[in-house]
A and B are shown apart, each in its own frame.
Chain A
Amino acid sequence: MKKIIAMLMALVMVLAVVACTSAPAASGNNEPAPAQQSGTEAVANTYEIAMVTDVGALMDKSFNQGTWEGCENYAKAHNITYKYYQPANGSEATDDDRYDAMKAAVEGGAKVIVTPGFLQGTALEKAAKEFTDVKFIFIDGWSMGLDNVSGIAYKEEQSGYLAGYAAVMEGYTKLGFCGGGGGTNPACCRYGYGFVQGAQAAAAEKGVNVEVKYTWQYGASFSASPELQTMVNGWYEQGTEIVFSAGGSIFNSITAAAAANDAKVIGVDVDQSFESDTVVTSALKGLTASVEWALAKVYDGSFAEIAGANSANLGAENDAVGLPTETWSLENWSVADYEALLGKIKNGELTVDNAILEDNAIASVSFANVTVQYV
């Protein structure tokens, strides 16, 4: 009995130790590889364009990766040195960890820092006030009234709308939505609400009834988990045909479940059809293009146009949201139909409600043709 208690105590201790230390020691001062990739004459070991990653992996095949590719493209094309910094403690990074990463970037010679993810707000504000001659591009963010910060927000509700519309027009009537950020991330909330609105519009047009299972469970840290896989497996098993995965690496769990059930997935942020055969379309956010666009503004001296109070909110009219037409795989809804709908959004004929419905707020909205089952 004593032994068992001793062992359990040891277990608890070990667990505690592991919890404290197993977090990846991924701070700013490693990553030789991307620096080498830049292929420029990085003699003094300084990197002008820096990116501080959001939670989740850099190559998450989604949000971080899209931003990173924007930095990479611009830097390569203009022969500028670039590097990424991952805040310590991975998905559990604190504001201090993020601030430290930004500081490391500045010390590493950064002139412009790209920070994707609204979670970085607090750290960014502190860093931007301290390092006033460094320019910050805050993807999914706001400017906080600082002249060296450009907040770039997207109208995710529009691309969510297009994805929901496309899914129902394609003939799916049992949809699912899995969001990241635990129901408080504004971008994910807009994606989700837009998705349901799109489904509603298409369902009304076709005169069918659509069911949407809607959840924030297990997605809070934007990472894959066995539980999420089991839950979505259950959805597919009970007839759900297609699930919109709006949350970085949770995509892994959802495609695993979809592949097991020969079902379908809608990707997010970037065209994810290359990652899995289960992806039929993706709700795009022009991350790569808009990072390049913003970096160009930095380097041609017109940063003030998008900084501070002039921060950008990019939508269909800027070609910053949409669905990928190069990898179109829908059969019952053509690219031409899609472009007609996109045109309506562009010219303002159709507006998508951009309310941020946190947590279970969606359950109290009523839709004529869509039954939302909040899980």
Chain B
Amino acid sequence: MSFLIRETLVYAIPLMIVALAGVFAERSGIINLALEGIMIFGAFIGALFIYEMQMHDMVALEKGAANWGTMQLFVLLTMLVAGICGLIFSMLLAFAAINLRADQTIGGTALNLLAPAVVLFFIRIIANQNDLRMYKGDAASWFMIKKSYFGLKDVSNFFVDTFLNKIYITTYVCILLFIILSIILYKTKFGLRLRSCGENPQAADSLGINVVKMRYTGVAISGFLAGMGGFVYALTTSNCVANGDVAGFGFLALAVMIFGNWKPLNIAGAALLFGLFKCTAASYSTLDIDGNGQYLLLKLSTDPVWGKILNANFYRLLPYLVSLLVLAFTSKKSRAPKAEGIPYDKGKR
């Protein structure tokens, strides 16, 4: 059970935080299709930052001294750097969409095409091959939090095994950020103003809200979260390797955002659901759901009758199948911000 929760979070956290990135842009009125591109860029910056940091004696010494707390600080720092670079990258979209009033879908697509190209260009210069790996070692032995760090090596209960063991600090930071930003979006003056720019910018402007500034802010937050999400993805799921690819997580996040109806709580639910099925698909053969030492899903998949349907391919299909089903039933209620995708024009009423 702890395993299932942990691994579900591995998939769900990047999706969740990047989907929230999408929400901030769209609620301010800018369609951010560039999430994938920004994630790729953030993943690259994060991996590069880790790579460079590992070369420094100070970091190596801290690692040598097993100062795991300090290592967490390095992770936080990398998240920040990746976020800031994602923010800068997203400004390209903001400039095209707000100042130049370009078609936002095309602007986003352009960034999605640009990011892998730019990233691979630099990776080839730095590493002389198609992916950038850690300078040495692996992500888990450098940055993962384990229960032995808390002196709980021999303690085994649900709480310790699930929340204090084999987990990255990024998970908690993302959850915290998710909560804080959701509250900001719904419970503060700033959030209300941001949302109003995505619904009726003319009305907002008439009340003295600077629509351009609000939209820039929306995209900036979006870029920060997506860039950070890209690094979180690289760290937790691909051993801190950047290769100009995040396995389509940016697009999945967009889907999760629509799935979650542009609302944070629904998005969290959608991401968790999707993550759960993704994780089940990959690890069905060792899933001991009720803890009785029996692998039910494996048994089903090797069963002569059930195995014809409930095999590995079916489990891999599930996350997408479930998304489709849920969307089919809920899309009637789905409602995108009204003014999204429309460049703001003062003269237009």
Give chain A's interface residues, CB within 8 Å of chain B. Answer: 1, 3-4, 7-8, 10-11, 13-15, 17-18, 21-22, 24-26, 30-31, 33-34, 57-59, 86, 90, 213, 217-218, 224-231, 233-235, 237-238, 249, 252-253, 255-257, 259-261, 276-278, 375
- The interface centre, meaning the residue of B116, B130, B244 with most chain A CB atoms within 10 A of its CB, is B130
Contact check, A217 vs B312: say whether CB atoms are below 8 A apart. Answer: yes
Is B11 an interface residue, CB under 8 A from the partner? Answer: yes
* Residues 302-341 of B at the A interface (beta carbon under 8 Å): 312, 331, 334, 336, 340-341
Cα-based distance from A121 to B155 in the complex (angstroms):
55
Given contacts A4-B331, A4-B336, A34-B128, contact A259 B141 (CB under 8 A): yes
What are some 18 contacts across the A-B interface (CB < 8 A)?
A7-B336, A14-B36, A14-B108, A17-B113, A24-B120, A24-B244, A33-B128, A224-B241, A226-B10, A226-B238, A230-B279, A231-B283, A233-B283, A234-B287, A252-B241, A256-B138, A260-B144, A276-B141
Given contacts A4-B331, A230-B7, A234-B286, contact A11 B254 (CB under 8 A): yes
Contact check, A226 vs B334: say whether CB atoms are below 8 A apart. Answer: no
Give chain B's interface residues, CB within 8 Å of chain A. Answer: 3, 7, 10-11, 31, 33, 36, 105, 108-109, 112-113, 116-117, 120, 124, 127-131, 133, 137-141, 144, 166, 237-239, 241, 244-245, 247-248, 251, 254-255, 258, 278-279, 281-283, 285-288, 298, 312, 331, 334, 336, 340-341
Cα-based distance from A278 to B138 in the complex (angstroms):
10
Contact partner of B141 (CB less than 8 A), chosen from A237, A252, A277, is A277
Contact check, B138 vs A227: say whether CB atoms are below 8 A apart. Answer: no
Q: Which 9 A-B pairs have the closest CB atoms?
A: A234-B286, A259-B140, A226-B237, A234-B283, A230-B282, A227-B282, A256-B239, A260-B140, A259-B141
Contact partner of B239 (CB less than 8 A), chosen from A26, A34, A217, A255, is A255
Contact check, B238 vs A252: say whether CB atoms are below 8 A apart. Answer: yes
Contact check, B251 vs A260: say whether CB atoms are below 8 A apart. Answer: no
Question: Which residues does chain A contribute within 8 Å of B144, judged by CB atoms?
Answer: 259-260
Cα-based distance from A34 to B282 in the complex (angstroms):
38
Cα-based distance from A227 to B128 in the complex (angstroms):
27
Closest to B334 in A: A4
Closest to A257 in B: B140
Q: Which secondary structure dominates chain B's binding surface?
A: helix
Given contacts A18-B36, A226-B11, contact A260 B283 (CB under 8 A): no
Contact check, B286 vs A237: say whether CB atoms are below 8 A apart. Answer: yes
Closest to A12 in B: B251
Contact partner of B248 (CB less than 8 A), chosen from A15, A218, A234, is A15
Cα-based distance from A42 to B281 in the complex (angstroms):
52
Contact partner of B251 (CB less than 8 A), chosen from A11, A217, A237, is A11
